[in-house]
Amino acid sequence: MSLPREILPNSVYLITRRCTQRQFLLRPSRYVNQTFLYCTAVASKRTGVVVHALEVMSNHYHMVVTDPFARLPEFLAWLHEFVAKVLNVHLGRWENFWATEPTSCVRLMAAEDVLAKVVYTLTNAVAAGLVERGTDWPGLRLFTPGRRSVRRPAGFFRDDGSMAEVEYLNIAAAPVGAGSEQVLLTAIYAAVRARETVLCRQRRQQGQKVLGVHGVLAQRPTDVPASLAPRRNLSPRIACRNKWLRLDALSRSVQFLRQYRAAYRAWSAKLTNLLFPAGSYRMRAFAVPVLVAAA
């Protein structure tokens, strides 16, 4: 059983999940891009989760979001379930689509941490040696504020069903500092260009070439990377460059786990007048008859 996760309103996260066996089941195509965008739009509309940046790679994706109403698990559940169902039908497969390991949800504690993870998201294809610039990536790569429309993908959803024929996804400027939307966007552009320049210089020094768009699109969905997958690494839940803010966040995380475990043991023993700590998503979302402290 995994550790309980503290889900607090207005938290910002970097979300990452990979496909089973690292297969290229999300390899860019018009249908894959349409499906992921449609499912993200529906999940965002249903839960109020705000999307700031998104890049869908061939075998995983990264997304930076804000969770105003502490409903991130619902957002991820809907997104992952229906991306898997639609693309499994499209690919003619039946097995699990996503890797069985938990989705990585890293809470970003400050504006500088949000900027770092937005840049990481938008330069992922460049860092992987797939394209020269992020703008060359043929898959989904979104971060400029605005409203995107997307038609319902054919093949899984019923034409006469409850799913809208057209959905809309609002991309909001990532909270990377103070200032207007244009100021924030300019900061992201500058940081992305700087990171891409560094990655390009490193690649040339090592005599490496990019795979290129044609190489990416020529791969099969059942292909896997030639590199070995990293194993048994730490899976952080918090990203914070400020030492003291990080220590405070980790301390509060430990306190949450202690309070949750104590309340859960009491609940399991059928005691009454229980108070779970703020952020106890399961107890709040599934209407368990206990009290959850306000965030």
The model's pLDDT over 63-96, given as tens digits with 9 standing for 90+, comes to 999 999 999 999 999 999 999 999 999 999 999 9
The whole-angstrom distance between residue 54's C-alpha and the CA centroid of its chain comes to 7
What pLDDT, on the 0 to 100 scale, is given for residue 116?
97
Q: What is the pLDDT of residue 285?
A: 72
In angstroms, the CA 197 to CA 191 distance is 10
Maximum C-alpha span of the chain = 66
Cβ count within 10 A of residue 184: 23
- Torsion sign over Cα 184, 189, 191, 192: positive
**pLDDT, the chain, mean:** 92
CA–CA gap between residue 183 and residue 149 (Å, rounded): 25
Listed by start position, the domains of the chain span 11-241, 246-292
CB neighbour burial string for 134-163, b if at least 16 within 10 angstroms, e if fewer: beebbbbbbbeeeebebebbeebbeeeeee
Res 1: pLDDT? 54
CATH numeric code, 11-241: 3.30.70.1290
CA distance 223 to 226: 9
- Say if residue 48 is exposed, middle or buried (CB neighbours under 10 Å; 0-12, 13-18, 19+): middle
Digit-coded pLDDT (tens) for 168-225 = 999 999 999 988 899 999 999 999 999 999 999 999 999 999 999 999 999 999 999 8
The predicted pLDDT at position 71 comes to: 95
